[in-house]
Structure 1
Amino acid sequence: METKPKTSRQLHPGWIAMMKELEASNAPELWELSPTEARILERQYAEQVSINTESLPLYSVENREIPGIAGTIPVRIYTPQAVNKDTPFPILVFFHGGGWVLCDLNTHDPICRHLCKQADCIVVSVDYRLAPEHKFPAAVEDVFAATQWVAQNASILGGDPTRIAVGGDSAGGNLSAVVTQLAKANGSPSLIFQLLLYPNIYIAPKFPSREVYGQGYLLTEKIIEWCNNHYLNSEADVFDHRASPGLAEDLSGLPPALIITAGFDPFVDEGEDYAKKLRNAGVEVEYTCYEDMIHGFIYIQGVTEGREKALVQSATALRRAFTK
């Protein structure tokens, strides 16, 4: 497995060590597995790291099902402190990553706990339908329906309907960007912020980072292709802005954004490109590239200090947006 940097950037030693361990373990390649087999591996990892969440006690963590277009949608609602009707909490609606095929409420529980506690906000994590059982646009339909439900029921949750943000990592960042565009087109709900963590903004872009970092840095081009093939129905979906939000013609009027990318991520160029497009459209954007990190660094615990720094930056940006 190649781990030497292909640019002037220097990969963090923690990732070099981790990937050498993976290479020595002879673990199966994700793209060689069925979705069911890949999900088993994801659950095993989530169980291994879940013990770390015990240091982040919250006032309440509740699993619930809410109405969606194709049935109910499971959500997990994190509340940082006792609810006071006179001082409702802001709300972050969170969408997990996993290439629209993998992950669930449990895999991203640590991230949601961190953001709930550090940003002092309610977090509603959405367990949207996964591909290939439910192909595009099922995930889009679920996350938008969930965001609408949160806006309509914010006061019941102890939240403030005027202070709702969306956010997610990787495919969840993609879905977050899509939701802001749909909310704008629909005229509701009113969203005040978007948190995009190493998002994949285009299904099939022609950016150099896809080739430069598409092998040897955990997320590979073959994995990306595996996810896309499971998610999409046909080649036509590639050009749908609900799959590739960077293709939307008009990005004006969208909520302010924090976009975080990783220097050794195949998606780094498109994250930066979307930040530029948003700025050119008059949207307030904070953009940060963690140059020595790889894709998924906020999701993967215990390797580097970059994860904690990015979570603090995300929570700080949320707090700032919620108090404006």
Structure 2
Amino acid sequence: MPLHPEARAVIAEGEAAAATLEPGALSPAEMRERFARSWRPPRDPAPVGDRYERDIPGPGGNLRIRVYRPVGEGPFPALVWFHGGGWVIGSLDENEATCRALCRGAEVVVISVDYRLAPEHPFPAAAEDAFAAVCWVAGHGAELAVDSRRIAVGGESAGGNLAAVSALMARDHGGPGLVLQLLASPVTAPPSEDRASYRDFAEGYFLSKASMDWFFEQYPRSAADLVNPYLAPLAAEDLGGLPPALVLTAEYDPLRDEGEEYAHRLLTAGVLCELARYPGQIHGFFALLTEQLSISAVAHERAVSALRRAFGSDLGTAGKPLTTTEGKV
């Protein structure tokens, strides 16, 4: 379908972070600062029981986390959340509205992780931080009022990548059992014009191929990292034994095809997976552009339902038909 009018307005007016996502003469640190200045606090954030920040130990030093807790005594399930930004830009702030919405809607403690950023901290720093945060949450449930048997991971864009990677690491290294991967527009492979979405939406649709190329110049250490599943999950030979997944994609997003390919790979590997493509939408629809795109609230409702199902029952890993109620894939 055509671009949604709200998405068209974001592109035309350069609202929020659109202008900052184009690489240029600025350094990564300057890009980071400009991106932070472009962010606006949500006008009407969902109320939660408590919200606070603290440090936790990480492989490269302390990590900052922001904790959103529902009303009540708990113990609650947990969602470990990772922000987007190409592993280079972004912070705990830009996903404030989404973390609140998921916390309130799913009655889940959301732990948003401020992982190390490239190029100062190249791969595998962000991936190791993500997995360390998941392990810390699992081991400190009492401190967080969390039931450590019910932990999900999630994120958007590069954050979706880190959620998928932390699930792979948990499987491979005897980490905590996870009940769901919530992957919104996840990065699962290097940029490639072999995928139609990279050819069709290379420019002019909020996130550009040039931006993704630039991010992939900052995060990997060498070409060898591009085939490491902990950077590019589609490079994994085996996706079996992973937790169930909800994969959300946008029609006008360069990352659309790799996210959908990952969903189909999960299903082929016997992992329960649900895939939804949002027609007429652009990158950032789930967590970054909540003030500009009303579809965010619809996508949040779908995520809340998936989280509630995952926390309420053992979904297992037996495959079933992919559902695509928001659009055909």
TM-score by length of 2: 0.90
Greater helix share, structure number: 1
The reply on whether 1:262 has 2:255 as its aligned counterpart is no
**CA deviation after TM superposition for structure 1 residue 29, in Å:** 6.5
Corresponding letter in the other structure for 1:191: L
> Post-superposition shift, 1:111?
1.1
TM alignment of 1:155-304, pairs within 5 A:
155-205=142-192, 206-298=194-286, 299-304=288-293
- Matched residue of 2:277: which SS? strand
Distance in 2 (CA, whole Å) between partners of 1:102 and 1:89 is: 31
1: distance between equivalents of 2:308 and 2:20? 41
Aligned-pair RMSD on alpha carbons? 1.6
| 3-state DSSP of counterpart to 1:49 | coil
Which residue does the alignment assign to 2:61? 71
Name the CA shift for 1:111/1:27 in 2 (closer, same or farther; >3 Å). closer
CA contact (8 A) 1:49 1:301 kept: no
Counterpart-to-counterpart distance in 1, 2:108 and 2:20: 39
Partner deviation per Cα, 1:135-180 (whole Å, 9 max, x = no partner): 0000001010010000000122111011000000000101111111
Per-residue deviation, 1:208: 1.4
Contact 2:83 2:155 in 1 (8 A): yes
SS at match of 2:259: helix
Q: Distance in 2 between matches of 1:135 and 1:90?
A: 31
| Residue identity in the other structure for 1:38 | M
Describe the shift of the 1:28–1:64 C-alpha distance in structure 2 as closer, same or farther (beyond 3 A).
Answer: closer
**8 Å Cα contact 1:204/1:238 also seen in 2:** no
Q: Deviations over 1:179-236 (max 9, x none)?
A: 1111011122111110000101102443111111111101001100111111111111
- For 2:4, give the aligned amino acid: H
Aligned residue type for 2:33: I
Corresponding residue to 1:313 among 302, 305, 315: 302
8 Å Cα contact 1:198/1:271 also seen in 2: yes
Residue of structure 2 equivalent to 1:15:
7
* Contact 1:193-1:257 within 8 A present in 2 as well: yes
Structure 1 residue 28: deviation in Å?
6.8
Q: Secondary structure at the match of 1:253?
A: coil
The unaligned stretches of length 5 or more in structure 2 are: 314-329
Q: Give secondary structure in 1 for the equivalent of 2:105.
A: helix
Letter matched to residue 283 of structure 1: V
| AA of the residue aligned to 1:34 | S
Quote the Cα distance in structure 1 between the aligned partners of 2:171 and 2:111: 20
Partner of 1:37: 30
Residue equivalent to 2:108: 121
Cα drift, residue 254 of structure 1? 0.5
Residue ranges of structure 1 left out of the alignment (5+ in a row): 1-8
Change (3 A) 1:29 1:144: closer
Q: Distance in 2 between matches of 1:175 and 1:302?
A: 24
Q: CA separation in 2, counterparts of 1:301 and 1:251?
A: 31
Distance in 2 (CA, whole Å) between partners of 1:216 and 1:73 is 35
Q: 1:11-160, aligned counterparts within 5 Å?
A: 11-22=3-14, 30-32=22-24, 33-46=26-39, 48-53=40-45, 56-84=46-74, 88-160=75-147
User: Which one-letter code corresponds to 1:130 in the other structure?
Assistant: L
Letter in 1 for 2:248: I
Amino acid at match of 1:240: N
In the alignment, the residues of structure 2 paired with residue 306 and residue 29 of structure 1 have an alpha-carbon distance, to the nearest angstrom, of 21
Structure-2 separation of matches of 1:119 and 1:107 = 20
Question: How far 1:27 moved relative to its partner?
Answer: 5.3
Runs of 4+ more than 6 Å apart: none
Give the Å deviation of 1:30: 2.6
Q: Count the aligned residue pairs.
A: 308
Counterpart of 2:316? Answer: none
SS of match in other structure, 1:52:
coil
1:52 & 1:143 partners in 2: Cα distance?
29
Q: CA–CA distance in 2 between the matches of 1:133 and 1:154?
A: 31
Identity %: 43
